[in-house]
Amino acid sequence: MTQTLSLRLRNDIRKAASVCSTLRKTRPKTRRDLRNYVKVFLGIDVPAKKACPDHNSPMDYLWHSFSADFHANSAGRAEQGKQSGRRSLNADCIIWANRAGGKTELAAVATLLDCIFKPNCQTRILGGSGEQSARMYEYLTGFLHHGFERFLAGPILKEKCRFANCSTVEVLTQSATSVRGQHIHKLRCDEVELFDENVFAAAKFTTQSTAGLLAAMELISTMHRPYGLMQRVVASAPHLGTPVLKWCVWEVIEKCTDRTCSQCSLWTDCRGKAKTAEGYLRIDDCITQMRRASRAGWEAEMLCKKPSLENVVFDEFDPAVHVRPVDYDPALPLYRALDFGFVNPFVCLWIQVDDDGAIRVIDEYVRSRATIDIHAAEIKSRTPGNPQQVAATFCDPAGAGVNDITGTSVIRELGGLGITARFRRSGILEGIELIRRAVRSGDGSTSLVISPGCPRLIEAMRCYHYPEYARAAGSELPLKDGIYDHPIDALRYFFVNYKTRQKTTTRRY
């Protein structure tokens, strides 16, 4: 009897092992199947519920990444393209999530799933630092030791592993040399905020689709700075049709079951969200981190509300206050402000000042790599009303310098094209202080309004910043990055000339 039971038990164990082995090799067909697969075989219960209206869940990312290459998701990608106004041509995505939000571990899960269920899939891991790349790869190799060794085609190497179905994973270093020459299906960029600009530029050309496998560049990071790389890729996402999958602490915090909301330190931000949560972050740890951090740091790192404004020049600029529709008023004087550039952008702002002294920026023109005659024609065509009634055009004093090759100056060329420009020499800090007063004066009032039709100026007002080393070096000058400084410079020239018109220089030729 005992031998019969023992034999039956061994048979049951063999059958269970066989079923488990079969299930491990069976591709999940639905989002629910995928979540169950990861929970059973990796021991990870991926949060699948969003807590904030404009957020996603971590499971949304994993499903997007996994299902993009299968026909089951073709309708979803078509719908996604319809919503963005573009047809989805690839599986790119941007992951904006909080610290300790599971980004790196989930990306490692996605990499494992790609290698197991997508034959010939070539994946590369590129972190903002060597440590970040190694962390994702360590997650992946740890998963492989949990029953997935049979899928490998050889030993796990320090920075590379191969699979029996010809899929491979390799870790890249944060250098343009490492990135260039790669032609792969999937590139997972972890902590994009820390990327070198040249490396990021090179990485954009590495992914290629092949039959059955869509190219995907996944950009994964928190957003530390409003002027950083992550801010720029998120801002450009709608124009490129790239989905931004965003979650914060409330999507990954553990369920709150035994606390009184009114006595909880998290209540101001939580408002009961943790009561229905299904994540893994301990509530006590979150409370401790909130108490350690500044409010700006907590909002940027954990709530994913907005980056810290610690290093921003115009930290009191608020689009909700300073951006609203303002149209040309023929009853008010019209001014233009110019900043010259060729490789860096040429900028023209159209500005009016109302009877109460409010500065109204009504339009902008920003363009690179065009000659001065093209700029002049564009300025004149876009100037509302009678061009002869323009009160003044203020510009960069450097435009008065004579070019050694042409023997003329930009200001002289503009004059010959019918645009008389004026300037007053001033320090950068003088103009910045005048803009700051308009953003918010000592009594708390504001006298600056920018039209929504000036997106480059609005972005510059939010992102114009000091260099990282400025505080240590004792410098007060903002960074000239070739992106945000030019719209601000044009605005500066308006303020320093308008406020001290008696000292303005007029050049006529």
Contact assessment for residue 194 and residue 149, using Cβ atoms and an 8 Å cutoff:
no
d(CA 56, CA 95): 10
CATH number of this structure's domain 23-250: 3.40.50.300
Q: Which of 29-33, 136-140, 274-278, 398-402 has the lowest mean pLDDT?
A: 398-402
**Minimal CA–CA distance to 161: which of 117, 125, 192, 205?**
125
d(CA 357, CA 438): 10
Same fold, 23-250 and 319-506: no
Q: Which of 84-98, 125-139, 198-212, 267-281 has the lowest mean pLDDT?
A: 84-98
Contact assessment for residue 429 and residue 477, using Cβ atoms and an 8 Å cutoff:
yes
The residues, ordered by sequence, that sit 6+ positions from 384 with a Cβ below 8 Å of its Cβ are 328, 330, 334, 350, 362, 363
- pLDDT digit string, tens, across residues 407-460: 789 999 999 999 999 999 999 999 999 999 999 998 889 999 999 999 999 999
Residue 502, pLDDT above cutoff 80: no
Is 3.30.420.280 the CATH classification of the domain at 319-506? yes
> Is the CA virtual torsion 69, 131, 101, 293 positive or negative?
negative
Percentages of the chain per state (helix, strand, coil), in multiples of 5: 45, 15, 40
Q: What integer is the mean pLDDT of 71-86?
A: 44
Beta-ladder partners of 393: 336
d(CA 417, CA 393): 13
Give CA angle at 23 (20, 26), nearest 5°: 155
* Cβ atoms within 10 Å, residue 306: 13
> Is the CA virtual torsion 404, 410, 415, 420 positive or negative?
negative
Token pair in block for residue 467: 């260099």
Domain boundaries, the chain: 23-250, 319-506
